[in-house]
Amino acid sequence: MKRTLTILTATSLSLGVYATPFDKGDAKKGEELHKKMCISCHAARFGGDGSKIYTRKDRRVKNAEALKQQIATCNTMLATQLFPEDELNLAAYLNATYYKFK
Ligand code: HEC
């Protein structure tokens, strides 16, 4: 009984602290990086300001894990050598702005 309570308390505490998957990321830094490294190519291929790729109907990214994966894949493909922290910041920005995964 005591153990169950401890687990419940720990779970609700961590839910409270991490309300969204990328709360530890800095969305502001992510936005800067995104402007510098990501928009021009997306805009060239998909038109507009490059944000269509995140809002199109058949977008590929369907959950938080997939968003993390996609950013890591882009990073490897582009050889941009982002740090894990940069990827997290990018994820925080994209999620807060477009994807809104919980
Ligand atoms: C050289 C061009 C290019 C650059 C630079 C680029 N991307 Fe992409 N990105 C693409 C293309 C093309 C797709 C679409 C792939 C598809 O639909 O199969 C894509 C798709 C994505 C998606 C998935 C969109 C969806 O459908 O939900 C995310 C997220 C993404 N890119 C993030 C980034 C981030 C973050 C950066 C900067 C670090 C970046 N990309 C830089 C070309 C690029």
CATH match for 21-99 among 3.10.20, 3.40.50, 1.10.760, 1.20.58: 1.10.760
Handedness of CA 37, 74, 86, 51 (dihedral sign): positive
What is the 24 CA–ligand 1 centroid distance (Å)?
22
38, 83, 100, best to mutate for ligand 1 pocket (most atoms within 8 Å of CB): 38
Residue ranges covered by each domain of the chain = 21-99
pLDDT tens digits, one per residue of 21-34: 999 999 999 999 99
In the predicted model, is pLDDT for residue 102 greater than 60?
yes
Residue 100 has pLDDT above 60, yes or no: yes
Terminal Cα-to-Cα distance of the chain (whole angstroms): 30
Give the number of the atom of ligand 1 that is nearest the alpha carbon of residue 80: 38
- Taking residues 17-23, what's their average pLDDT? 75
| Torsion sign (Cα): 19, 21, 22, 24 | positive
Angle at 69 between CA 88 and CA 78, to 5 degrees: 85
**Where residue 6 falls among pLDDT bands split at 50, 70, 90?**
low
CA–CA separation, 45 and 8 (whole Å): 48
Q: Which structure tokens are listed for 84?
A: 């894990």
Pocket of ligand 1 (CB under 6 A): 34, 37-38, 41-42, 45, 53-54, 59-61, 67, 70-71, 74, 78, 80, 90, 94
